[in-house]
Structure 1
């Protein structure tokens, strides 16, 4: 009795993860890998020859078995006989679905034909910076010959698809000695008889091109330094001042989240004489310009230029960029082209400051920046040994507005209610603040968790997710500079601020005659003054962005209800409540809505109650502290206890879009306290 065929999936995933985790090898979500082998057909009980290949939209570094498409090789190869020609090659992508083996798995990508038609058990298609540098060099064919001899073959540019798969299969058949190819303007493909050999061949191509460029390249391919780079503190201060302006401009067509990069690679590029010329040529690898757009916006002022001059200039450059992009679209669009998606830049380069990248969420913005770093590396390599010569503009348009790419966009899930919103929550390390931060993040917002307790803030930010979802900021809201610093951190993390929750608070429960000036000052400093400082600093950002915004005050039923032994807390909360009305009246012209939430006492999960307030209030009402929540619930109309999640829900309702015309409102979250009814 023979043993069942051994699946190559384990080796394929291990190889993919190794290759995808090294940025020198390929970029995020770029490239694809495959393996051919046999598995038992559950219908016939006989072996079937299959292709396992990374599916559409996956990432090699994190690839799992669920991210593979599995196809019958006999059916895939049979497509060659019905191929209608390059003018109709896009039809073949739909045909891949009829070659699938079983249910589940990922959708086959446009590169499936390359992997299936090349006669080798294992195939890698990658986008290494060094390989693309040779692929985009003006004399790429000659360089490939010089570097590799007959071991690697040059394949002229062709848009990814079925015909490219046929081309590479033909090259492989005609060159049995070759281990792979350089794809003009695009990347590399390598193959092998085993998974180990395929990976070894991929790395040989990558490392050999790296070594060739290092040994033969001229030392300053970007030209001499023409701008000095300011120190980090000065650089970041300038970035924080300009980022909201840029984000507002980049959100002209649709709201965007931002990412800031000032790595050595970026700073060196934007200080060199040749960066405007090279940036204007745009990127070449399809994976690059699909995320970075056809070219970046380049600010042409020195780092020391007055801030107001830079702001005025970026507005001019943005208007010109939009005109140029529309002209690009109109030059190449045909009757069947998808509509223009938006004319704002995805990448902005600024001498002495760095790079700003934008996308529909933080990860998209960050990845766009990472891809432009890849593009800089490609330009450096190509210019070092030749001249950078990316694919022409018409070909870029064919890919950017490719119906297959449009179909990918249509398959994306509907954005969550707070997608693209950047939220700052004070007192976010516990209680209502924590619950609010978690809820806003769950609804799609990027969240800055601000708290005097930096460790608690970091814990909540980590609970939400990585830095693409949330960051922590240490902030004492009574300190104007600390507030300004936290807002700067929010801006540098995500590009601006759209939604502010003034939640930081504390309480000291004492009768009037026992309330000291210190008690009074502390509560007013944290809640009345703290809310004022946070609102003032964030309103500055919102006004500059020009995107509107939301400011929500977590007030209290005590802003209306005269509770016993509570004069300092009640007065501070009444101050906050009137700030809502005052700021709603003042900021409305900027599209900034200001509203409040008035909770009843939140006992469970509350940092205030855990800090001694609960014991003091329990003593006032003559109930055991552990029964305080029940006591509060019994005195309400609904007989329900108020929890942090209920307050967070009210914040979401106020900011989630359905109350877009509501400002100056206070929403009670008290289960019905008649004495606190709004009048």
Structure 2
């Protein structure tokens, strides 16, 4: 089949690229894996695994022996590299059958995989290792394509598979991944010689070939046929999910409603730990949540274990009208809180009913997936990537339900089987091996003026400590450059960007709406945007005065005002930090407008701290001085004005400022960032109304 014949999958094989790897089976495995992982219709992020078997010299005997290379535990085939593979002596793996004690003891086999390791630098072998090892084929793909799982999760999927593929695809009923499933796959092949693949009930697909290319094409052909069959059934039925029940809102209205409700949802989802959110109004999601069958299908949960592990037993459905008035927060909470209480009770009953004597303790009982009919899907998890991937997996689950309902009737995993996956001791061990969360993990920060200078340094520090950040600036080019830097350093899920003029109310509202849409809300707000004007009093104009007070004082007030509305929706407290200046406390020449505006910022901080304490919102101040590096303030007239005031040249300013400090130190943006982190990092959570000077020691600026 040529690449032009595929409609439902992408043919990406490049002969020239593959030819370069002609004598490297492992290289071809990685190449094939990356191509498969690049098409989310074939598998989800982190889902599935691929393998190849090839001969290599045993380093102890020098004898050529068969080695299996397979994606290691926790990897992603789309980004797989050689370092992400596990390499095992395949004969040793097969011989583990001789000591297997049966289904009740299959988990103990995972540790024994280590005795089969060929490459001592291997990634840890995954639970699916025997599924590949027991099959004799040189190249094997185990994927979770939505189209295949739709058939695998259909009530009569076994019959459909046999008829659709004329018995060339085998079938194995649902079995939790592990050693026993590997044996069942081998038995299926032995009983059906000549088949080209095996469908795993409620789970996924195994396909293979004698070469990397044959395996790749076989996979594409099987998935293509599944997808064609489903789409033909949809066309015959004329509708999906029982047709449309409600009319959804237009896109802009959906975004507005989502931004309003997201902080309330996030606050409720964060009752046990701080969560980060994600929102999508993908057309596939809307088709499902606006349908007649939503209330029947959603509580059933997902089928594929990869989906289930990331989306939980079932979603929470909001019983709100799409265009409901969400402005009355107390009224909104009174409608939503009972839904969360009912969900937590359901989850606790699920745990109690299904748990085993050795099951891990119950985990967070809040929902991961929240569906708002007419608006979209919210997901909440420990970080942005996990929340985004959960939404992607639930979208895959929607695709599965859509396909299964089109060809037959959707079936989900039985509750006990789902529990056995979610609270699997091997999964728990994997969770326990994960790095401990950083101090700002689960936190969302917005630092005004964060495309350069102090603002960018603060944002970088927060991102390094685990927070997600909303980068913003008035200068669009500077903002784009900062975004590119954060993408390279921290990845796509660490930040969002939005243009922001702190003197424009519409910009401010939009910035916080974007924080809610991208991450669910806000935790830390740093008022850092600023400018400076240094002139003798007789040269100051009304325009100068108004600009200073609009940006520094009114801007701080308006940003704080909008931040408070979000923080109160979440009901989890928060931090507001104001980057002021030693000039708020020290009198100097040619500084009437700037110095007095900074003094206003400082006292406004005290007033806010006094007012917001009952909401657990802490307001603190960092007072820098002479932070010249990467600062737009020090470009042009301000530096010239200060140099003139002190009777020195602009070039002499850095040394001048350092020498006048008690510590004889130059102050850098990173120093201010560290001071901000000191306030929000957890050790000062009972501190508010404070001023922290970061100026190298200027005695006149001591707070008395």
Q: Which interval holds the TM-score relative to the shorter structure?
A: over 0.9
Alpha-carbon distance in structure 1 between the residues aligned to 2:343 and 2:636: 55
Aligned equivalent of 2:310, options 279, 284, 291: 291
SS of 1:252's equivalent in the other structure is coil
Partner SS, residue 24 of structure 1: coil
Distance 1:458 1:333 in 2: 50
User: Bigger CA drift: 227-236 or 259-268?
Assistant: 227-236
- Is the deviation greater in 385-394 or in 301-310? 301-310
Deviation track 1:55-84 (CA, whole Å, cap 9, x = no partner) reads: 111001100001100111121111010011
Residue 136 of structure 2 is matched in structure 1 by 119
In the alignment, which residue of structure 2 is the partner of 1:413?
435
The residue that corresponds to 2:513 in the other structure is 488
Which of these residues, 615, 619, 623, is aligned with residue 640 of structure 2?
615
Partner secondary structure for residue 635 of structure 2: helix
Aligned to 1:539: 564
Worse overlay, 595-604 or 298-307: 298-307
- The answer to which of 434-443 and 106-115 deviates more is 434-443
In structure 2, distance between residues paired with 1:591 and 1:177: 67
**How far apart, in 1, do the equivalents of 2:631 and 2:213 lie?**
56
SS of match in other structure, 2:493? coil
Tell me which of 591, 595, 601 is aligned to 2:626: 601
Note if contact 2:161-2:167 (Cα within 8 Å) is conserved in structure 1: no
2:14 aligns with none
SS of aligned partner of 2:36: helix
How far 1:204 moved relative to its partner? 1.8
Which of 349, 362, 368 is the equivalent residue of 1:340? 362
SS in 2 for 1:641: coil
Superposition deviation, residue 42 in structure 1: 2.4
State the alpha-carbon separation in 2 of the partners of residues 102 and 59 from structure 1: 20
* 2:34 counterpart of 1:9: no
Write the distance in 2 (CA, Å) between the matches of 1:355 and 1:230: 13
How many angstroms apart in 2 are the aligned matches of 1:653 and 1:611? 32
> Quick check: 1:653 aligned with 2:678?
yes
Structure 1 residue 46 displacement after superposition: 2.3
Equivalent residue, structure 1, for 2:253: 234
Which of these residues, 155, 174, 197, is aligned with residue 172 of structure 2?
Answer: 155
After superposition, what is the alpha-carbon deviation per residue over 1:609-668, rounded to whole angstroms, capped at 9, x for unaligned? 014311211111111211201100000000011111111111111111111111111100
**2:339 aligned with 1:317:** yes
Measured in 1, the distance between the counterparts of 2:51 and 2:686 equals 53
Q: Report what 1:662 is aligned to.
A: 687
Distance (Å, rounded) in 2 between the aligned partners of 1:612 and 1:208: 69
What is the deviation of 1:310?
Answer: 4.8
1:38 CA displacement: 1.1
CA distance in 1, matches of 2:35, 2:693: 54
How much has 1:6 moved relative to structure 2? Answer: 5.2
Q: Secondary structure at the match of 2:385?
A: helix
Asked if residue 628 in structure 1 is aligned to residue 653 in structure 2, the reply is yes
The Cα of 1:244 is off from its aligned counterpart by: 0.2
Give the SS at the match of 1:191: strand
Secondary structure in 2 matching 1:468: helix
Q: Find out whether 1:431 has 2:453 as its counterpart.
A: yes
CA–CA separation in structure 2 for the residues paired with 1:224 and 1:194: 44
1:57 aligns to 2:74 (yes or no): yes
Question: What's the CA shift string for 1:435-484, capped at 9, x where partnerless?
Answer: 11111111111000121112212221221124411111111101112111
Structure 1, 33-42 or 628-637: larger mean CA deviation: 33-42
Specify which of 36, 39, 45 is matched with residue 56 of structure 2.
39
TM-score normalised by length of structure 1: 0.98
- Report the equivalent of 2:280: 261
Deviates more, 1:214-223 or 1:170-179: 214-223
Deviation at 1:548, TM superposition (A): 1.2
Counterpart position of 2:474: 452
Long gaps (5+) in structure 2: 1-21
The 2-side partners of 1:546 and 1:522 are apart by: 34
Deviation at 1:605, TM superposition (A): 1.6
Is residue 77 from structure 1 mapped to residue 102 from structure 2 by the alignment?
no
Q: Which residue of 1 aligns with 2:11?
A: none
Deviations 1:138-172 (A, max 9, x none): 01111111111221011100000000001101112
Question: Partners in 1 of 2:632 and 2:458 — Cα distance?
Answer: 14
1:662 alignment partner, SS class: coil
Return the offset for 1:7. Answer: 4.5
2: CA distance, partners of 1:316 / 1:517: 54
| Correspondence for 1:373 | 395
Provide structure 1 residue ranges, at least 5 long, that are not aligned to the other structure: none
**What is the rounded CA distance, in whole Å, between the counterparts of 2:452 and 2:240 in structure 1?**
52
Which of 55, 61, 65 is the equivalent residue of 1:48? 65
Match of 2:409 in 1: 387
Are residue 88 (structure 1) and residue 88 (structure 2) matched?
Answer: no
Query: How far 1:221 sits from its partner (Å)?
Result: 2.6
Alignment of 1:161-172 (within 5 A): 161-172=178-189
Instruction: Give the Cα separation in 1 of the matches to 2:373 and 2:360.
Output: 35
Given that residues 133 and 379 in structure 1 are in contact (C-alpha distance below 8 angstroms), is that contact kept between their aligned partners in structure 2?
yes
Count of residues in correspondence between the two structures: 675
Q: Structure 1: how far apart are the matches of 2:174 and 2:218?
A: 22
Which range is displaced more, 172-181 or 86-95?
Answer: 172-181
Shift of 1:417: 1.2
Q: CA deviation at 1:243?
A: 0.2
Given that residues 7 and 37 in structure 1 are in contact (C-alpha distance below 8 angstroms), is that contact kept between their aligned partners in structure 2? no
- For residues 237-267 of structure 1, give each alpha carbon's deviation from its aligned partner in whole angstroms, at most 9, with x where no partner exists: 1100000000111111111100000011111
More deviation, 398-407/232-241? 232-241
Question: How far has the Cα of 1:282 moved from its partner?
Answer: 0.3
Q: Distance in 2 between matches of 1:408 and 1:237?
A: 39
- Aligned with 2:192 (options 155, 158, 175): 175
In 1: Cα distance, 2:683 partner to 2:393 partner: 36
Q: Is the 8 A contact 1:29 1:57 kept in 2?
A: yes
Partner of 2:385: 363
Once residues 549 and 339 of structure 1 are traced to their aligned partners in structure 2, the CA distance between those partners, rounded to angstroms, is 29
Secondary structure of the residue aligned to 2:576 is: strand
Distance 1:467 1:579, change over 3 A: farther
2:663 aligned counterpart, secondary structure: coil
Matched-pair contact (CA < 8 Å) for 1:119–1:172: no
Q: CA deviation at 1:174?
A: 2.2
TM-score by length of 2: 0.95
Whole-angstrom distance in 2 between the partners of 1:301 and 1:594: 35
Cα deviation for residue 97 of structure 1 reads 1.0
| Structure 1 residue 365: Cα displacement | 0.3
- Cα distance in 2 between the residues matched to 1:548 and 1:611: 40
**Matched residue, 1:561:** 586
Contact 1:127–1:186 (Cα < 8 Å) also in 2 = yes
Give 3-state SS (helix, strand or coil) of 2:670's partner.
Answer: helix
Shift of 1:284: 0.8
Partner residue of 1:474?
499
Deviation at 1:509, TM superposition (A): 0.1
The farther-off stretch of 513-522 and 637-646 is: 513-522
Match of 2:541 in 1: 516
1:281 is matched with 300
Once residues 345 and 595 of structure 1 are traced to their aligned partners in structure 2, the CA distance between those partners, rounded to angstroms, is 34
Task: Name 1:129's counterpart in structure 2.
Answer: 146
Equivalent in 95, 107, 114 of residue 124 of structure 2:
107
Q: Is 1:591 aligned to residue 610 of structure 2?
A: no
CA distance in 2 between partners of 1:438 and 1:570 (Å): 28
